[in-house]
Every structure is written in structure tokens, then in C-alpha cells.
Amino acid sequence: MTHDKLMLGAVAYDPKVVTIWDGFQQYFADRGLPFDYILYTNYERQVEALFAGEIHVAWHSPLAWLQTERIATALDRRARAIAMRDTDCDLTSVVIVHSESDIHSIEDLRGRRVAVGAKDSPQATLIPLHHLAQHGLDSTSDFEVRPFDVLLGKHGDHIGGERDAARALFRGDCDAACILDANHLLFVKEGTLTSGATRVLTQTQPYDHCNFTILDTGPPGLTYRFRALLLEMSYADPHVRRLLDLEGLKRWLPGRTDGYAQLSASCRRFAYIDPFVDAQIARWK
């Protein structure tokens, strides 16, 4: 791949992704940045593409960031998170139950059925299950986990699994459900959950979500210009606002990585990303 055009990778978790990146492509072109993008069906393929040099920048899920960081460290390379959305910062997950449920503490979940999102969802599975483990409940023995594996490989970006988990709780098929706090509000607003029908049993500590990831072998001039143009985007610009609304943000922020500690601990607890990471390290060494 030549370094005369910035190549970005993104995962096609929704049809709107094409609209978003077509719009950003024009935005960058209007400002003199040669830019194109490649869509991938899953984040593991995108991580591979970043190390293979198919792309310079990856619009990564938090799980994909951890995969990339671990592989890069093992290969004596450096991965950097250069930007993220304002809405990627300080998220929380919640475990919800029926308002009239007899479950009033985490300990009350012992022996119950807990609905989660896709197995690879940080916000609806990995982080909340780690949170419960920190409070004394082992998801492999102390309660039954019922996953809703909608579009594995998308790392929970497609919230269908969370929505199905919420529906299972509402129907009475499960005793609790793990979802993103913001999606709890969304599901009430859209009618998936009835207002007042559920309550929050417990809430995780804040954590961060997606970021733009680069490796140390990328073209520094192009990536610097890409980051600068992102940070310059203004929600006051009506043309930009439409794209930002589709991508779910008001402004881009510099990347940070200290908000991935909970997910990292969860991955260590469940050894979730080990097989993929180990295979990639062996491949690229």
C-alpha cells in the first residue's frame, strides 16, 4: 500500500456506515486530504488488516483496541489511539431487573438467569460479568448466563443482542439483563421496555468505548492531518452535523486509553481474546 492516500478501516455493523464514511471522504477531500476507506465484516479481520498494512487507521471497538495493543507489544511495535468521540468517554453498563422483582442485591442473582448481549460485547457482556465477579458472583457457576449473539464479530456495535436481552427480561424469560446505561434509556424511549417497568440493580464504573487506532508504521503526515481535521469538525456546521449525528457524537476528542482498564481486566479474567491474539502474534513474528 502506498502512503499517498490515507486508508481507513471500519466495520460495517449497520448500513448507515457507508453514508457516514462517504460523507467524511468528501469532507476530507474538500480540505486536501487524500482519503479512502475499506469496510470489514468483523473487527478481527480489521485488526489483521491493520497489521498487514491494508489500512493506516482503524476505527476500532475497545475490544479491537486491546487486541491491537497486545499484538503490537508482543511484536515490539507501538499502537496509538489518536482520537475518539465525546460519546466514547465515561460510559457505564447496568444490570437491570423488573421493578417488582425480589432481587435487591447482587447476591440475590445467585442461581438466577442473567441475559447478556453478544459474547464479544464489552458493554453488554464482558464488563458487566466482570463487575458481578468483582462482587462475588462467578458467571460460570453462580448464575446462568443467557447470551444473545447477534452479529458476532461486531463487538456489540450492533445493539440487537442488548435489545434481545432486554426483551427476554421484559417477557420474564430471564431474571436480569446486562445492557449499556444509555441503551436502557433508549429501550424505554423506543418502547422495547415500558417506562417504570425495570430498575437498575447495579452499575459499573465508567469506561471508554471506540477509538481511531494507528501503528507506528503508518504515514505520520497523513495521520496527523486526519486527526487535525477530525478535531476541527464543528457541530455548528450543518453539513458536518448530519454526519456527526449519524455517528453519534457532538465533537471528536484526542484519544485516551486509560478508560479500557475494566475491559482489559475482564479479558484477563475470561481469557476471551487470548486465542486470536496468540494466533496473530505467531503469524506476524
Predicted confidence (pLDDT) per residue in 67-76, tens digit: 999 999 999 9
The beta strands (E) that lie in 75-192 are given as 79-85, 93-98, 113-116, 144-147, 176-180
| Predicted pLDDT at 2 | 65
**272 pLDDT higher than 80:** yes
**107 pLDDT higher than 90:** yes
pLDDT band with cut points at 50, 70 and 90 for residue 3: confident
Domains annotated for the chain, with CATH where assigned, are: 6-88+208-284 (3.40.190.10), 93-203 (3.40.190.10)
SS3 224: helix
Mean per-residue pLDDT over the chain, rounded:
96
SS3 229: helix
Geometric angle at alpha carbon 284, from 279 and 285, rounded to 5°: 100
Contact 161, 146 (CB under 8 A): no
| Predicted pLDDT at 65 | 98
Contact 50, 269 (CB under 8 A): no
**Integer Cα distance of 281 and 284 in angstroms:** 5
Q: Please spell the DSSP secondary structure of 34-88, one letter per residue.
A: -EEEEEESSHHHHHHHHHHTS-SEEEE-HHHHHHHHHHHHHTT--EEEEEEEGGG
Crossing angle of helices 274-284 and 43-52, rounded to 10°? 20
3-state percent breakdown (helix, strand, coil) of the chain, nearest 5: 45, 20, 35
Kind and range of the H or E run holding 277: helix 274-284
Contact 148, 164 (CB under 8 A): yes
Closest CA to 162 of 3, 51, 106, 154: 154
The average pLDDT across 77-96 equals 98
Closest CA to 156 of 195, 120, 112, 107: 120
| Predicted pLDDT at 243 | 95
DSSP state of 209: -
| Predicted pLDDT at 54 | 97
Cell matching residue 100: 417488582
**132 pLDDT higher than 90:** yes
| Predicted pLDDT at 20 | 96
Type of residue found at 111: G
pLDDT band with cut points at 50, 70 and 90 for residue 170: very high
**Integer Cα distance of 188 and 174 in angstroms:** 18
Cell matching residue 276: 486470536
| Predicted pLDDT at 157 | 87
pLDDT band with cut points at 50, 70 and 90 for residue 59: very high
Closest CA to 95 of 119, 74, 112, 120: 112
SS3 89: coil
The average pLDDT across 26-33 equals 96
| Predicted pLDDT at 151 | 85
Contact 209, 62 (CB under 8 A): yes
pLDDT band with cut points at 50, 70 and 90 for residue 158: confident
| Predicted pLDDT at 197 | 96
**191 pLDDT higher than 80:** yes
Closest CA to 35 of 19, 16, 52, 22: 22
SS3 233: coil
**96 pLDDT higher than 80:** yes
Query: With pLDDT > 90 as the criterion, what percentage of the chain qualifies?
Result: 95
